[in-house]
Amino acid sequence: MSFSWFVEPVTEFAAAFKGVFWHDTISLVIPPLPKPFDVYYVPSKDFKSLIVGLTFGRALVLDVATNAWREPTPNEYVDKLPKIGVFHRCVDWMDWHWDPLVDSLGIGGKFVYPQLGFATYEKPYELRLVNPTDLIVFMDATFWVVRFPREVECPIWGDEKAVCDVEELFWRFMKSRVLNQMALGRAFWDALRTPQDVSSFVNAFKRKVVEGRA
């Protein structure tokens, strides 16, 4: 099972700013729901939680005659499981969308469902369970989290004693990575267009990138 595709920059940021790796696992038995069930996932007031992945366990169906749990039949998988699931969102990071209990979402723990968003006490992760079928289903889910202090040292604004909001700093960190790559790409492109041979290309690139001269 592979982890989220953006784990490398997240790992750098977590290591630098005292992130604590974490997961929260929950199991649910979901009966037929005449109307949706709304619930929040609310981190502690003391932290901001960067959710980096979700894994969904396999869905099992209750045989109500025998009280035995079993795998869904192919007919149930096609006709009913696409109607059972969860809407979810993470304000500012992920919009509302629908996750039915189907294999392509990694149901059964086949892969980590990538997430990237801060959930906080003031801005919790929101979920809406839906089951308009006649099935009673079991499922489990794990939130993979990096938990940060709400405020961390802020090394980019010139005052080493300053602190800043960790979510704001993360956004700046990611943006700086992209801008850095774009600046390198621009310098590379400029150097590539002008030189006549390899040595002049290298020198032009060095002037642009290492010495900061055009």
Binding footprint of another protein on the chain (CB under 8 A) = 24-33, 37-44, 62, 64, 67, 124, 126, 129, 136
Instruction: Report the residue number, 89 or 172, with the smaller CB distance to another protein.
Output: 89
Residue 140 amino acid letter: D
Task: Name the minimum Å distance from CB 34 to another protein.
Answer: 8
Q: What is the DSSP letter of 155?
A: T
Instruction: Report the residue number, 134 or 211, with the smaller CB distance to another protein.
Output: 134
Instruction: Report the residue number, 133 or 204, with the smaller CB distance to another protein.
Output: 133
The enclosing H or E element of 132 equals none
Instruction: Report the residue number, 128 or 207, with the smaller CB distance to another protein.
Output: 128
Q: 158-191: buried (b, 16+ CB within 10 Å) or exposed (e) per residue? A: eeeeeebebbebbeebeeeeeeeeeeeeebeeeb
Task: Name the minimum Å distance from CB 127 to another protein.
Answer: 9
Yes or no: say if 152 and 162 are a contact pair by the CB < 8 Å rule: no
Instruction: Report the residue number, 139 or 154, with the smaller CB distance to another protein.
Output: 139
- Give the span between the Cα atoms of 191 and 186, in whole angstroms: 9
Task: Name the minimum Å distance from CB 33 to another protein.
Answer: 8
E strand spans, the chain: 20-30, 37-41, 47-56, 60-63, 68-70, 85-90, 94-100, 113-119, 125-130, 137-149, 151-153, 163-165
Task: Name the minimum Å distance from CB 45 to another protein.
Answer: 11
Task: Name the minimum Å distance from CB 126 to another protein.
Answer: 8
